[in-house]
Chains A and B, each alone.
Chain A
Amino acid sequence: MSSDLSRRVEALLPRVERPVRYINSEWGARHASDAGHRTVLLYPDTYEVGQANQALAILYDRLNSIEGLAAERAYVPWVDMAAEMRSTGVPLFSLESCTAVVDFDILGITLPYELTYTNILEALDLAGIPLDATGRTEEHPIVLGGGPCAYNPEPVARFFDVILIGEGEDAVVQIATAHRDAKRSGLSRSEFLDNLAGMPGVYVPALYRPAPGGGVEPSGSAPPVVTKRVLTDIGVHRPPLCPVVPYMDVVHDRFTVEVLRGCTRGCRFCQAGMVYRPVRERSADDIVRDVMEGLRCTGYDEVSLTSLSTTDHSQLEEVLRRLTGRLEGSGITVSLPSLRVDAFSVSMARLVSGGRKSGLTFAPEAGTQRLRDVINKNVTEEDLIETVSRAFSAGWRRVKLYFMIGLPTETDEDILGIGGLVHRVQQAAREAVPASDRGSVRIGVSVSTFVPKAHTPFQWEGQIPTGEIVRRQGVLRSAMPRKGIDLSWHDADVSFLEGVVARGGREVAAAIESAWRAGARFDAWTEQFELAVWREAFAEAGLDPAAIASRSYQRDERLPWAHISSGVSERFLWLERERALTGTTTVDCSFDGCTGCDACGTLDVDVLLGGESRGGR
């Protein structure tokens, strides 16, 4: 059956753009179609966007390492391929064995960002799986979600049978094993889901109903609050050392070792910094060993040491010295995803660039010290200017700066402050290079619009209205130096939709479904995004999207995501909000002592630096 499907897929390939998206047999792909229990892992976007996703790579590796379990991959076909598949009756298929997705035991879908939600419906529909969990029968796979957006699951909750909150390394294996055992002992779909709802980190949306005061509550014995899963030590699982090596030129096409998880710098706008606590580092020995082994297995010519803030790793300098020594003369380079604004970071960048000085990236986020204190971004203008001077003296000619507009308490003065800061950075950069080289100095400025995210100190704040986003973008443009700046900003309509979907509750699902039915998909792709389709969809669902995005909540109101816990207490988040409004900063608990976020106590974990417990929480 699957070989027949494979032939039908192959017949479509000459007719579509970039057929390489749909071919299997990349190096490192695992083929275990005879396993007793099979999961297909889907990234809700095209192959080139999703292939390098680390979360799915980890789960793929974990599931395929367990006897009797297996995992394959699937992606969302681009619109041309989807049209061909529909017209020829070809269902959504897995890459490895070209098996119809509907024939798997579990369909795992990661939730990377809000604008992929219509793609989830596109994938379910192409697979022939009912969109609503309640419409599925024993013949359909269990649809399991997880990932960053699971921290506000409600807008997509009814499309999933199960949503895992938190880290999946152990949990996904337990869920797959429990499902295999349930099938063996003849349990029905609903019996399995009822049982699973008791597993830590598991949210079964169908067992919850809208609560009178907002949000949702269990209708039976399911837990009222689902607390995230967390690994005590990420070192117990090695990173995927022989991941799939794509043929296609994909986003983040390099070998990756996650060197630490979590970040406790405490930036108040940052969801990742709150929900991935605590900080857990891999040891230097493990990192060096895994990088060398992974490069041998994959043949990549670049390795990236990833995390939310790699320059915070307590042994980074040692790791880089050992790696650059071992890789000398091989043409293989080490890269760091982003840099902290300090001298140490520049010296680390000099170590890794392998002679290349392509460009450095820093994120001051706000234009004035007042606003940087509000968001707890502990970076000063002096730090930034000094860091840039140092980098340009050392030979760099390009720097990219990230900022946000629409942060709580922001005034036009703060936006004008971005222009002033960029101007002074430009001056410092020009002064640091020889006169003959000044023409090559490039400053990139990327400005996104703040979306107040669940489980952050700003979760109670509404998003600023679209008209105001557009006005502030105008202020920003007028404040920028005229020459030598490459300014880019996020589309206001896209930010607005992100705000609605990130802040909405269960009611938003109807609008997502309407938008998909009206043809919305790949909304993160500029050429595909149409706000008009979404406006129509919200109207059809009887919703006012602006009211959802801009709604502020009182302390005693129930938030749409109140049944989900990252371990960080609401009490701490509110305290952080209060400190923000008075411009009071908070220290980083990995270095300066506990700040009382409650994550370690709730989750029974501790900060791990260099593979050693810091202790004394």
Chain B
Amino acid sequence: MAAGEFRLRVCYAKSGRARFLSHLEVMRALERSSRRAALPYAVTKGFNPHMKAAFGPALPVGTAGEREYFDIWLTQPVPVADALERLRRSTPAELGIDQVRYVHEREPSLTAAATMARYEVAVGGEGVTAEGIAEALVTVIGEGRLEVERKGKTKVFDLARSLPEEVRTRSTGPLVIVEVTTRMGQEGSLRPDALLEEALSRTSVDGAVVSVTRTDILIEEEGVVRRPL
């Protein structure tokens, strides 16, 4: 960060039909929001000058997010309440802006700092029960490893490492909600729907993942787990 710049961290949601957006589409939409908000954004130097902004870990197309983040660098400090109000007015409701705060220049980047994420996976289908899913998950997790095939490549996850917290299940109406916390990082990030699909394949019921929502992105620091904001 250059001297005289102010790093504003923004917490937003990816909800409703916006969950069908790709990460690139979300980034572009929020950069446009920031310009519409007339924030005094900093511009990168170099061949292709553009808004100085950095986004948190990507969400796949179809996955919603409750607390997603990006950082934007400003050339003048704008009061937090003012920045929040301006961003809210200039952003589509499905990418609702929840919170903004200045963070220190020494704070590591969102992608480097975020090592865990919490998800809620909704599972539905004839005969699907919370107990049945919980039982299948115990079996899968008990095996210790999970092979996931994606784009023709097989990736093996060490579940003891990938699942730092206990998986919880509960029923709401016809759906079963499964809360999964996964670790993310350079070794790859376990997609919670992959875990649930494996569990469903171990049951005799015809269940399917209905929706996936990332509810939190977390930073682990000296044994303490915290939110980026």
Residues of A within 8 A of B (CB): 10, 13-14, 19-20, 23-27, 245, 247-249, 295-301, 329-332, 354-356
Give the residue of B21, B47, B90 whose beta carbon is less than 8 angstroms from that of A299. B90
Against A, the Cβ 8 Å flags (1 = close, 0 = not) of B66-83 are 000000000000000000
**Interface flags, B37-66, vs A, CB<8A=1, else 0:** 010010110011111000000000110000
Select from chain B the residue with minimum beta-carbon distance to A21: B20
Residues of B within 8 A of A10 (CB): 17
Cβ-defined contact, A331 with B21, below 8 A: no
Inter-subunit contact B49/A354 (CB<8 Å) = yes
Q: Determine which of B32, B34, B44, B61 lies in contact with A298 in the assembled complex, contact meaning CB atoms within 8 Å.
A: B32
Q: CA A331 – CA B45 in complex, angstroms?
A: 10
Cβ contact within 8 Å between A20 and B21: yes
Task: Report whether B25 and A329 are in contact in the complex, using a CB–CB cutoff of 8 Å.
Answer: no
User: How far, in angstroms, from A558 to B55 measured CA to CA in the complex?
Assistant: 63
| Across-interface contacts of B41 in A (CB, < 8 A) | 331
A330 to B43, CA, bound (A): 7
**Closest 4 interchain pairs by CB?**
A299-B32, A299-B35, A299-B36, A19-B20
A-B contact pairs, 11 of them (CB 8 A): A19-B61, A19-B62, A23-B17, A27-B29, A27-B92, A247-B21, A247-B25, A249-B28, A299-B31, A355-B48, A356-B48
Q: Check A355/B47 contact, CB under 8 A, given A20-B22, A25-B93, A299-B90.
A: yes
If A25-B92, A247-B18, A247-B21 are given as contacts, then 10 extra A-B residue pairs at C-beta distance below 8 Å, sorted by A number, are A14-B62, A19-B62, A20-B25, A23-B17, A248-B25, A249-B24, A299-B35, A331-B49, A354-B49, A355-B49
- Residues of the B chain whose Cβ atoms lie less than 8 Å from the Cβ of A301: 31-32, 35, 50-51
Q: Which A residues lie within 8 Å of B22 (CB)? A: 20
Q: Is the CB of B32 within 8 A of A245?
A: yes
- Kindly provide the distance from the CB of A14 to the nearest chain B CB, expressed in whole angstroms: 6
Alpha-carbon distance A295/B90, docked complex (angstroms): 13
A503 to B18, CA, bound (A): 44
With A23-B17, A299-B36, A330-B43 in contact, do A247 and B49 touch (Cβ < 8 Å)?
A: no
Shortest CB–CB separation between residue A183 and chain B, in angstroms?
33
Q: Are B21 and A296 in contact (CB under 8 A)?
A: no
Query: Given A296-B36, A354-B49 in contact, is the A249-B92 Cβ separation under 8 Å?
Result: no
Report if A299-B33 is in contact (Cβ < 8 Å); known contacts: A23-B18, A354-B49. yes
**A247 lies within 8 A of B29 (CB):** yes
Residue of B nearest to A27 (CB): B92
Closest to A10 in B: B17
Pick the most buried of B25, B34, B93: most chain A CB atoms within 10 A of its CB: B25
CB-nearest residue of chain B relative to A332? B35
Known pairs A247-B21, A299-B35; A331 contacts B43 (CB<8 A):
yes
**Nearest B residue (CB) for A295:** B35
Q: How far is the CA of A300 from the CA of B16 in the complex (A)?
A: 24
| Chain A CB within 8 A of B206 CB | no
